[in-house]
Structure 1
């Protein structure tokens, strides 16, 4: 039932750590999900430096999905959106032909507090890779919930468990937040060909094995998966219909290497519009490391 277990790789973003899960060498995508980062958990003291913020940067060919358990992030982008995301909300930004955005921790900088969440990228279908960029914030009322048997669940996006979230997705997918009490059991049906579960907190048992925070389980198709919470736990379920392989370089996702090279050239030359409300700085395109000096 379990095809692969992926352990998060901790990465310092210059003030807080994320756990990088996807892409992974042995599994680049799960359904349309091409990127999965576990942000925090981290406790910020009031007054931390602005260098912790994520400065404006570009994307093409994907949608970014930000979901928080705790904390606040202020989003600004080149289509004019300025939106603070709070716990239980979804920020769904579609890059399409190209968008730039920043992520600022303004409320946390002022007040201090706990930050914990997930950022995922969802690839766009080939025929929609160049659609116009857009942004939407969805409040908890847009996201169906269920509670019973020691389990609380929220459908973040897509269709699953007989429900549908009011989030405009571009291909068949599901994305679910589970909170499980210790001892609770829950099942993931064999509804989609590609499925995974990420343990964001606590410990769960699946197929007689114990898994803990920071591990993603990728499942074989065609089987119902039973989870037993060994402690109070948070589990994120994700997957959907596969879209085919994608090239991923820096913040760009595409079916075409040439399109990524064009996006890199556009960003390097300053041809991608910055957010109006946040156009005083940006993240430069990472340049390849120079070749090693053979005489050194």
Structure 2
């Protein structure tokens, strides 16, 4: 049993030495790949260390996360950083949360980014880059909120202007309809008035006609003479009033003449006769 134990111990030691050698080789290859910006090769080597060889090392996980990010594989980078966001190593925890804050800020997730950066500063208050990133993200958030508010105010103003315009258009339309209704009502009233006037005129004519039919021959003759006189007056461009004035004047002159003639004696008085 003593020999078997010695053999097993020796074989185990040799196996550990080979594993350490392989780990160191993969680490070196990964580091060289990063320096040469061969990010895919670096990812491959770090993945072998963590997955195939099951090395539990937060620093290797951090390097793999950085390699994913440099290779523009944001999804895998975030997943890899999150695995060490709660690392017992303050430095690694601070860097992981800082990187998560920067990545989420680029996605415009400012509240989430600020939470990550707060965790980064809590893990390492001396992380000046994380503090700068925090202030930058905070400023970006405030600018976006202001832009959103300005845009909302502009949209509200446009909506208000639209509502005001619609209200004005409706008021103009209502006023136009009222004017049309008023015009129609006035037209109806005018038509009604014309109809009433026409009916009154027709009725008057009918009454005159009936009156003429009821007149005696003397009255009809007198009326005919009057109508003939009116026609002559119209030919002479005289109104009935002017003609009446002329007739009155002639009548007055005739009366005055008769009075004067009445005062004059027809013959000279006989001086031989008595004056009675």
Higher RCO (CA < 8 A, seq sep 6+): 1
Q: Structure 2 length normalisation: TM-score?
A: 0.19
Larger-Rg structure: 2
Q: Structure 1 length normalisation: TM-score?
A: 0.18
More strand by share: 1
